[in-house]
Chains A and B, each alone.
Chain A
Amino acid sequence: MSTTMEHAQLSAHLDALTDEAITIIREVATECENPVLLFSGGKDSAVLLHLALLAFAPARLPFPVMHVDTGHNFAEVIDYRDQLVQDWNVRLVVASVQESIDKGRVVEDTGPRASRNRLQSVTLLDALAEHGFDAAFGGGRRDEDKARAKERILSFRDRQGRWDPRQQRPEPWDILNPRIRKGEHLRAFPLSNWTELDIWRYIERHAVPLPDIYLSHTRTVVQRDGMLLAVGGPVVLEPGETAFDAVVRYRTVGDASCTGAVKSTAADVHDVLAEVAAARITERGATRADDTFSESAMEDRKREGYF
C-alpha cells in the first residue's frame, strides 16, 4: 500500500473519531443538567477539552473543567493547566486530595512508596456531590486497560459512585441513555474508541498544546520497580537506591509518586508519533507503577469510583 493511501485511511479514521467524540460531548452536555469535564493536565484530557471547545463553537464551553489535584503534581503540569484555562477561557474547579486528607475523609498511606493515586476517588466523588455534577466527562480510552475495554461510552455510577461491570446498561448504536436518579451520576468517555496513536495524531493535526514533560528532557530519576521515577517531591530515595540524570519524556501524566518516565530523545510531536508507533510496551505498562501491582488494579479502583 502506498503511503499516500495509508495516510488517507488514517486521516479518515481520525475524522470519524473526531465526529464521534464531538457528538457524544454535545449529547451528554445537552441531556444532563450539570456536567463537568475532568482535566488532569495529561494529553488525553487536553484532547478532550479541545474537542469540547470545537463541539460548541462559536459559543463558549457550557460547563466547567475540574482538576483533581493530588498535591503531588509535576510543577510543569500545574503551570500548563493555569495557562491553558486562561488562553481557552474556561472555568476551572480544583478538588484537592490534601483537603480530603486534612478533613479526615481519607487516610494517607505512609512510607517511601505511598501514592495518593487511589485516594483521588474519594476526592473526586466528594467534589461531584458538592457541586451537584450529574455527569463527568473523562479522557479514558478502552485501549488503555482491560477493564476500561469493557466500559460503556456513557457509564452509570450508583449513589456510592460505584461502577458495577456486571450490570452495565446495554448501549446499542450511538443512542445514549442518560437517565439517572438524584445522587447517581454518569461518566462519559468520548475518547473510548481512540488509541494512544490516535491521540497523538490529533495533537499533531490541531497543534494542541501539552506540558513540556511529554517531550524529551534531562531529569534526575531513580530506577524503581522497573520504572524511572523523578526524584524530588513525593519520591524519596530508599537505602541502596541511586539517583542519576537521564534523557527522558513522559508517556502519561499522573500522580508524580507513581508515574514513570521513559528514556526518549523525541523532541517534537513528529518524533513522539514515530516512537509511539514503534512501541512494544503499552503506555500504562511502561509508566504506571500502580497498575502493575495486581492483575485487576484498574477494575478494583474503578469499582470504587476512580476515573
Chain B
Amino acid sequence: MSILDNTSTTLRIATAGSVDDGKSTLIGRLLHDTKTVFEDQLAAVAKASRRYGDGETNLALLTDGLRAEREQGITIDVAHRYFATPRRSFIVADTPGHAQYTRNMVTGASTSDVAIVLVDARHGVLDQTRRHSLIASMIGVQAIVLAVNKMDLVEWSEARFHEITAEVRAFVGALAHPVPVTAIPISALLGDNVVEASSNTPWFDGATLLDFLEEFEIHPHVEVGARLHVQRVIRPQGGEHADFRGQAGVVSGGWFRKGDAVTVLPSGLTSTIRALYRWGDEVPEAGPGQAIVVQLDTNVDVARGDALVADAPVAPVVGDDVVVDICWMVERALTPGSRWWFKHGTRSGHATVTSIEHVLDPTTLGQHDTSELLLNDLGRVRLLLSEPIVADPYHVLPETGRLILIDPADHSTAAAGMLHRVGTPA
C-alpha cells in the first residue's frame, strides 16, 4: 500500500468506526498492554484524566493529543503512533469517527494494510461503520478486523457478537472490492482480547487482536513490471561527476535490473539501464518502494513527470481521459464542468470534470445519479486531464493508480482518487 512496502514486515494499521466506539481507547490499550507507553507519558495522561474529570486513567488521551480533542473528549485528526513487539513493528493511525472529519480518516487509512473497524456492541452497526468500511475497501486494505467493543456492557453476549459480525460480513461481502473480515469480541477499556485472551469469552476461540496483527501476512502485490515516475533529473554539472545524468524516483510494480531495456512514457523512447543507485551507492537491482537514481545508456529526453517502464507482463496505460472513484473532502461542491488541479505520481496539471457517473449511498451501497458531489461524498467521476498520465487501475497497482485533486481557489486537497479506468478520448 504505502512506500513502506511488503518486503518489510512492518504492519500499518488504521482504526475506523463511529464516534465513541472506542477507537482511541483501543489504541491506548494496545500501547499500554504492549508496554510501549513511557512512564512520563502515562503520568501525564493520568494527570490530564483527573483534570478533564475522566476518573481513572483515560488511555484515549495517549493519542488524543490536541487541546481541542481533550476538552471535547473526541478525536479530530489522525494521530500516528509507533510500537514494536519482539515479533513485529507497527505504525498505527488512530482516526476520527465524526463524519465531518472523514477526510482525516481517509488520510490515516490510505497508507494502512489493515483497518480495525470498531463497533459498540450496544449500538451495533451505524452509518459511520458502513462508510468507514466502504472507504477502507475502496482504499484497498488487505483485511478488516471487526472489533466488537464494549462487550462488558452487553454481558459478554455471544449472540450479540454473532449478530453484529453477520451484519458486517454481509455488508463488506457486497462491496465492489470485498475484504476478508476477522471478528474479535473485546473490551478496549478493560483489555479483554486486546493483548491478553479474556476469560469472559469462553465461547470465543479466535486470536486476540495483537496475536492477529502480529501474525498477519501482508500479501505482496502481483508483479506487473517495474515503473518509476521521475521526480527529478540529477545533474551535478561540475566536479568529478560533471557528465552524470540520472533520473530519481521510487520504484513500484516490480524490479529494475542493470542492463534492462526501458521505455520512457508518454514519449515511447527506449533506452537501456546503464546503472542503478540507491542511497548514493550503485546497486545491481531495485524494487518496490526503493528510492533510486536510474542512469540510462543513451541521452534520451526524460523530464519530471515522465515514467520509466521496464518490459513487463502488464503495461501501464497512457491517457488523459480517466474514470476515478473519489472521496470528496472540501466544502465546495464538485460539479460537471468544474476545474481542479490534479497530482498523479510526479505529474501535475488541470483536471476538468466531464461527468459524475454516480454517488454511492454508504448505507445501501446503491449508486445514484447526482448533479454534484458534496463534502464527504464517495462517488465516481470522469475527468479530462491537461496532461496524459502513465497509470494503472488502482486495484492493479495502487502506487500508480491514485491521484489527488487540489482546489485552485484555496489550494486545499479536495479529493483522494482511485483510478477505475484510464483511456484516451475517442
The interface of chain A, by Cβ under 8 A from chain B, is 1, 6, 9-10, 12-13, 15-20, 22-23, 26-27, 29-30, 53-60, 142-143, 145-147, 149-150, 152, 165-166, 168-175, 177, 179-181, 192-193, 195, 279-282, 285-286, 295-296, 299
Q: How far is the CA of A62 from the CA of B388 in the complex (A)?
A: 29
Partner of B65, one of A22, A146, A173: A146
B411 at the interface (CB under 8 A from A): yes
Contact present for A22 and B291 (CB under 8 Å): yes
* A-B pairs with lowest CB-CB distance, top 10: A146-B65, A285-B40, A57-B280, A172-B416, A179-B411, A172-B110, A58-B241, A22-B291, A12-B8, A170-B103
Contact present for B65 and A147 (CB under 8 Å): yes
Q: Give every chain B residue within 8 A of A16 (Cβ-Cβ).
A: 3-5, 7-8, 10, 289
Q: Give every chain B residue within 8 A of A27 (Cβ-Cβ).
A: 231, 346
Interface size class on chain B is: 35 or more
Q: Give every chain A residue within 8 A of B67 (Cβ-Cβ).
A: 295-296, 299
- Knowing A57-B277, A58-B280, A173-B110, the reply to whether A150 touches B406 (Cβ < 8 A) is no
Contact present for B77 and A19 (CB under 8 Å): no
Give the shortest distance, in Å, between B407 (CB) and chain A (any CB).
9
19 A-B residue pairs with Cβ-Cβ distance under 8 Å, sorted by A, are: A9-B89, A12-B10, A16-B4, A16-B5, A16-B7, A16-B289, A18-B291, A56-B248, A169-B412, A170-B104, A170-B416, A174-B3, A174-B111, A175-B343, A175-B402, A193-B4, A295-B47, A295-B51, A295-B67
Q: Give every chain B residue within 8 A of A1 (Cβ-Cβ).
A: 86-87
The chain A residue sitting closest to B289, CB to CB, is: A19
B212 at the interface (CB under 8 A from A): no
Give the shortest distance, in Å, between B142 (CB) and chain A (any CB).
15
- Knowing A177-B413, A282-B38, the reply to whether A54 touches B44 (Cβ < 8 A) is no
Give the shortest distance, in Å, between B241 (CB) and chain A (any CB).
4
Contact present for B279 and A54 (CB under 8 Å): yes
The chain B residue sitting closest to A181, CB to CB, is: B411
Q: Give every chain A residue within 8 A of B343 (Cβ-Cβ).
A: 175, 177
The interface of chain B, by Cβ under 8 A from chain A, is 2-5, 7-10, 38-41, 44, 47-48, 51, 62-63, 65-68, 70, 76-82, 86-89, 91, 103-104, 106-107, 110-111, 231-232, 234-237, 240-241, 244, 248, 250, 277-280, 289-291, 293, 304, 327, 329, 341, 343-344, 346, 398, 402-404, 406, 411-413, 416
Q: Give every chain A residue within 8 A of B9 (Cβ-Cβ).
A: 9, 12-13
Contact present for B8 and A54 (CB under 8 Å): no
Contact present for A285 and B89 (CB under 8 Å): no
Partner of A165, one of B40, B77, B232, B411: B77
Contact present for B39 and A281 (CB under 8 Å): yes
The chain B residue sitting closest to A296, CB to CB, is: B67
